[in-house]
Structures are given as C-alpha cells and as structure tokens.
Amino acid sequence: MKALAVEGVWKFYGDYAALREVSFEIEPGQCTALLGRNGAGKTTLIRILAGLSRPSRGVVKVFDTDFQNRTTRNRIGILGHGIAIYDELSAYENLRLFASLYGLEKPDSAANHWLERTGLDRVKDSLVREFSRGMRQRLAVARAFLHNPQMLLLDEPFTALDDRAIALLQNLLRDALSEGRTVLMSTHQLREALELATHVVLINRGKLAHRGVRTQEMLDDPGYLYRTYGEA
Amino acid sequence: MLFLRQVLTITAKDLRSELRTKEALNASLAFALVILLLFSFAFDANPEMMREISGGLLWLAFAFAGALILNRSFARELVNDCLDALISSPVPGAALFLGKVLANYVLLLGIEVVCLPIFGVFYNVRWAQQPLWLALVLILATWGVCVVGTIFSALTVNLRLRELMLPMLVYPMLIPCLMAAMMLTTPLLAGQPIEGDLFAWLRLLVGFDIIFTSLAVVLIDTVLIG
Amino acid sequence: MREKTLYGLGALAIALLTHNIWKMLVNLPDEAFQGAIFRIIFFHVPAAFTCFTCFLVSLIAGISYLKTRDLKWDALGVSTTEVGLAFGAANLLTGMIWARIIWGIWWTWDWRLTSMLICWLLYGGYLVLRRAIEEPTERARLSAVMSILSFSVVPFVFFSIKWFRTQHPQPVLYGEGKMDSGYRAMLFGNWVPILMIAIVLVAVRMMQERRQREVDALRRSAHAF
C-alpha cells in the first residue's frame, strides 16, 4: 500500500498549465519535503492533495483510495496557510467542532486531551479572539492532529510559527513519524523542515524536477538542491 | 444519520458564532425596520392601501434583510481560511451547504417573527388572523430565499465586490418565490384564508423549494471545489 | 476555411433577410386592425425565439463544461448568452416600439414584457459574474453553475408573472392567438435568417474567446518565470 500516489497530474488555469504530468509516490512512514520556488506549483499541488481543487488530468490516491472519498479524509490531517480556527468560538469549542466534523466518537475528550497537550487547557473557555498569536498557532496545530491522522499534510508549516509552536510541531511530527505515520510538507528551504524530512520532492515550473532521499548535502547547503536539479 | 449530525453540527456552529457577535443579525434587523419605516413615506398608509400591498411590503423588507444575513454566511468562513478546513474535512459539501442554509433559515425566520408585530403596530394591520397559513407561507418562502441565497453566497464568496454581487444575482432568481409569498401574504394579513386560485401560488412555492434545494445540493461541490 | 464558411453563412442570411423584407413590404397586405406597424412582429417574435434558443444552448454548454471541463464549452456558453441577450434586447425594443403605437405607451407591466425583462436581467447577471472572476477555469465553472440555475428559474418566472397579470396579445404558437397563414409563414420564414445571423455571431464570438484564452495563457507563463 502506498500512503500517497500522484499519477500524471495536470492542472490548468485556462490554457496555462500550473502542473504538468506530476507523478510520485510516498510510502507509509516517510516524511517528505515538497520543495519549489514561489510559483513553481507547490501550492497548487498541496491544494489538490487537500481536496480543495480537482486535478485537470490524472489521479491522486491516498491509501489506495480516491482522495475525494470522504472517509479517506478522516485519515488526513491538514495544516494550511491560514490557521483555520474560529475567532468567535472558544478554544474548546473549536476543537470540539472539528472533532465532531471528523466523526470522532468522543469529541469532548479528544478536545480536552489536545488542549492539555498543547498547554492551552488553562484558557480553554476563552474566545480565540483574545488569544496571542502563538496560542492561536498552537491551537491550529492541535486541530490538525486532533483525529490522529495517518497522514499529515502541511503547507509551509514553519514559516508563520513562533518558537514555541515550532518546537511543539516538531515534537508532534517526530512522534507521528516514530509511530509510522506519513508526513508531507511543502516548504522553501527551511532547516526545520529538512531536518525532519527523509525524502524530498522538488517541483520546478510545474514539473517534477527531482525526487529521492534527503541527503546530507541538502542539509548542509540550502542552495544545493536547486543548483543541482532546479534551474533546468 | 451521520449526514444529519454533520448538518446540525454546522448549523449549531454558525448560529453560535452569529449569536455571539450578532454582526449580521443586528444589521439585518435594523435594516428591515428602517425599510418598513421608509415605506411609510412612500405612500399614505391607510387601511384601504394596506389591504392591497401589505404582503409586498413585508416581503421586500424580508428580502433586503435576508441579503445581509446571506452575505455573511460564507464570508464568515474566509477569516483564517476556515472554509478550506471545512471543505477538506470529511464533511460532504451537501452537509456543509444544508447546515448553512438551516442556520440562515433560523436567523431569517427569527427576524421575520420580530418584524411582524412591529409591522402590525406601525401600519395598523391585524396580522395574526390566519396564524397557521401565515406560518406555512413564511416557512416555505423563507426556505426558498435561504436555499437560493446560500448557494449564491458560496458562489460569490471569493469574488471582488461580493457584497454587491450577491443581491444583484439573487434577487432576479428569487422573483417567483417572493412573488408567490407576496400574493399569499396579502390576503392572509387581511384575514382571508388560502382558497381557490391561491393554492396555485402555494404549489409554486413548494415546487420552487424542491427544485432549487435539489439543484443546489447537486451543484454545491462544483461551486466549492475548484 | 472555417471563417469562409462563416462569411458565406452571413452573406446568405443577409440575402434571405433582404428578400423577406422586400416580401413583407411589397407582397403582404397591412393587417386589418394594426396597419403597417404589425410587420414588426416578423422581427419581434423570431428575436424572442432566437434569444431562448441561445439560452437553451448556453444551458447545454454549461452542463457539458461541468462534465468535460473543456473550455470550448465555456466559450460556447458565454457566446450564446451574449448573443441571446442581444436578441432579447431586440425583442424588448421592437415590442416597446409596437406598444407605443398600438397601446400608446412604451411599457406596461404585462406578464410577457415583465418575464422577458427579468430573464434579461438574470442573464445580464451571468455576464456581470463573469467579469468579476479573473481566473479562466474558475470563471468557467461558476458561470456554468450560474447558467444552470438561471435556466431553471425561467419557467418559474413565466408561470408566476403570467398568473400575476396579462395584457399581451395571445401567443402565436400555442394558446388562443390566431394568425393568417401567410403571416405565419413569414414569421417562421424570417426566423431562418435571424437564427443564421445568431449562429454567425456566436461562432465569431467563440473564436475571440479562444484567442483571448491563448493570450491569457501566454501572459501567465510570461509572468510566472
């Protein structure tokens, strides 16, 4: 079983192809960094994987089922650009809402568990509107992990986070990987992401430029990957 | 069952955040009252005149008030990209849509129920003479307004000038529904029951509700997922 | 090649139209009650037919786009809607001219006039919606939905307004309206060239859409890298 299979995916905006024949696979338990410059098609691909957009051609399969399948989505946790938290609800209400949308049997205990884990249990009944930036980010991380997803889809996870949220996210991702879950995160060149990654996928001008194991060179020299595969 | 629970979860979420901020509710109610007030300048509100136009007047106020609620319906999800999180969750688009329709429905019905007695006082109309028929018309026509309005709320959510686009697109679509509501409400407010030819309007309302609810449910995924 | 066929069709349409106008003015006698102005019906009614034929095709194009996601259906959809609106406007204007002379007023809130005006506004909304969306694929998808919803509301509009009020002469196709067979032949005879003109306009408009799409794609790739 593949955790994720992207098969010949094209995405057109009008006649302009934002993705051209992108294919790759991710085995369960791998942590893949999706790299590419701005405008390379990273966001387009992530949006397709998150079910926010349909590929114009090609197929995306998650755990061997069609990714539009709603039950498959129970197994995916998504942390996107926005924090996807309601300002006018309390921290607890937010987590409870998403716990029941994800069909958890005990949404209350799941919400409480994650409030504790992210250190927000003290303020669980305060409205998110009153939260500091860092607290909101930790809540967003909790929302993505809430339903124990088998696969995590993260869009530029480290760019907007503060230190504490980065530490939290890194710990959670390490735990998830040690439990054999799959992680795919889009990123620029950030060390935090590359340290975790076991594999890399590089997109350049809408095409798959490279995929393979994350090597030591990539970690040592941030420009290495782009110089070797990118500017073709 | 699961579907129904998802619908109600969305409805409860929308109602809770709306009742907490009252953004749309206050604006919409105030707007409805201002319109009712303005009508008194447009014509001489004598009993003769009111017998002829009370239904039209009331439904125009409701339609305007409704647009404010419907505008907020999907727009409230844009803050923090919540809409993306809902679309990529396991909740089907249809459940998300119906949940939102239901929330708007409750809010708009609430506004209508508040407006009716105020209208009655201002324009000297004994509005509660046919309470059951009137309730039926409110229930059917408000559903039509909410279904069509909510799908357009989803359709226009990412557009520039969304607040202007929504009423411009929705009102022509709503003409049959509003027309039927007006034709039925006017005699009801005058104390006459629904009988004879008026049933045709009731059937039109039911048909409108059924067709546009089904169409919206079928089309909502297309609207939400690019 | 394709363009030549279009020019040919256009020329044929104009020849036919000229022939029809000649016949209308010279061969057909004035109508007993309305006099000379009744001839406007030979344009008024075919314009309405053409308008709704266009809206129907636009509906089919909308459904086909959602099924295939092929942008040529979107081009057909927008082209037929625009041409439909033009003929809808022709129908409304010729009707108003006729009404001014026969009824003495430019406009009355009769059911046919009102319904036509509402339909015109509905499909006008379709064009306004399109203008508000930059990205071609999103524009195509949302306009297809708009087209389906608009067409679905048209029967409701007609029924509701019809029950509301009526003053217009009885319809010539169905209902109690009577029409001399010579007039009837001319009415349908004149629909042929008008429909041909509509087809030519739609085809030209579709070519424009295709070129516009090419330009947009080139512009996007130029900006992307």
Alpha-carbon distance of B32 to B34, in angstroms, equals 6
**Is residue A159 included in any domain, yes or no?**
no
Mutate to test the interface with C, among A15, A42, A205 (most CBs of C within 10 A): A15
**Is residue A141 included in any domain, yes or no?**
no
Tell me the CA distances in angstroms from B212 to A21, A64, B97, B220, C150, one per residue in order: 38, 36, 13, 12, 11
**Could you give the percent of chain B with pLDDT greater than 70?**
100
Token pair, residue C59, equals 């509906």
CA-nearest residue of chain A to C138?
Answer: A13
pLDDT in tens, B111-126: 999 999 999 988 888 8
> Taking the CB of residue C174, how many other CB atoms lie within 10 A of it?
7
Number of folded domains that form chain A: 1
Low-confidence ranges of chain B (pLDDT < 70): none
Residue C1, pLDDT > 80, answer no
**pLDDT, position A69:** 79
**Terminal-to-terminal C-alpha distance of chain B:** 28
Best CA proximity match to C53, nearest among C65, C63, C45, C41 = C45
Half-sphere exposure of B76 (CA within 13 A, CB side): 26
Token pair, residue C202, equals 């739609």
Parent domain of A209: 1-75+180-232
Residue C126, pLDDT > 60, answer yes
Alpha-carbon distance of B11 to A136, in angstroms, equals 24
Radius of gyration, alpha carbons of chain C: 20
Mutate to test the interface with A, among B20, B96, B158 (most CBs of A within 10 A): B20
Query: In chain C, what residues touch A13 (CB-CB under 8 Å)?
Result: 135-137, 220
**pLDDT interval class at A128 (50, 70, 90):** very high
Residue A152: phi and psi, rounded to 5, are -115, 130
Q: Do C217 and A56 touch (CB under 8 A)?
A: no
| Residue extents of the structural domains in chain C | 2-27+37-214
Q: Do A143 and B85 touch (CB under 8 A)?
A: yes
Which of C66, C133, C153 is the closest to B222 by Cβ? C66
C123 neighbors C35 (Cβ within 8 angstroms): no
Residue C156: phi and psi, rounded to 5, are -60, -40
For A111-126, b/e burial (b = at least 16 CB within 10 A) is bbbbbebbebeebbee
Total-model pTM: 0.92
Query: In chain A, what residues touch C217 (CB-CB under 8 Å)?
Result: 14-16
Residue A232, pLDDT > 50, answer no
Alpha-carbon distance of B150 to B110, in angstroms, equals 17
Query: In chain C, what residues touch A209 (CB-CB under 8 Å)?
Result: none
Q: Does A105 touch chain B (CB under 8 A)?
A: no
Which residue has 């309305």 as its token pair?
Answer: C34
Q: Do B79 and A93 touch (CB under 8 A)?
A: no
**pLDDT, position A195:** 83
Q: Do A15 and C69 touch (CB under 8 A)?
A: no
Supply the CATH number for residue A57's domain.
Answer: 3.40.50.300
Tell me how close the Cα of A55 comes to any Cα of chain C, in angstroms.
11
> Taking the CB of residue C35, how many other CB atoms lie within 10 A of it?
11
Q: Which residues of C touch A (CB under 8 A)?
A: 69, 71, 135-137, 213-214, 216-217, 220-221, 224-225
ipTM for the predicted complex: 0.92
Which of A15, A39, A205 is the closest to C213 by Cβ? A15
B119 neighbors B58 (Cβ within 8 angstroms): yes
CA-nearest residue of chain C to B181?
Answer: C160
**Is residue A97 included in any domain, yes or no?**
no
**pLDDT, position A231:** 58
Tell me the CA distances in angstroms from C7 to A93, A138, A224, B172, C205, one per residue in order: 66, 66, 59, 37, 14
B59 neighbors B190 (Cβ within 8 angstroms): no
DSSP SS3 for A38: coil
**pLDDT, position B48:** 80
Alpha-carbon distance of B201 to B181, in angstroms, equals 8
pLDDT in tens, A32-85: 999 888 888 898 999 999 999 999 999 999 998 887 777 888 899 999 888 899
Alpha-carbon distance of B151 to B166, in angstroms, equals 10
**Is residue A51 included in any domain, yes or no?**
yes
Tell me how close the Cα of C58 comes to any Cα of chain A, in angstroms.
19
Alpha helix (H) ranges present in chain B? 2-21, 23-42, 47-75, 82-87, 93-122, 131-155, 162-189, 198-224
**pLDDT, position A67:** 75
Query: In chain A, what residues touch B86 (CB-CB under 8 Å)?
Result: 101
Tell me how close the Cα of C142 comes to any Cα of chain A, in angstroms.
14
Residue C174, pLDDT > 50, answer no
**pLDDT, position C166:** 52
CB-defined contacts A:C, below 8 A? 30
Query: In chain A, what residues touch B82 (CB-CB under 8 Å)?
Result: 82, 84-86
**Could you give the percent of chain C with pLDDT greater than 90?**
50
**Is residue A82 included in any domain, yes or no?**
no
Mutate to test the interface with A, among B88, B157, B224 (most CBs of A within 10 A): B88
Report the length, in residues, of chain A.
232
Query: In chain C, what residues touch A15 (CB-CB under 8 Å)?
Result: 71, 136, 213-214, 216-217
**pLDDT interval class at C11 (50, 70, 90):** very high
Three-state SS sequence of A184-223? EEEECCCHHHHHHCCEEEEEECCEEEEEEECCHHHHHCCC
**Is residue A191 included in any domain, yes or no?**
yes
Which residue has 């003109």 as its token pair?
Answer: C197
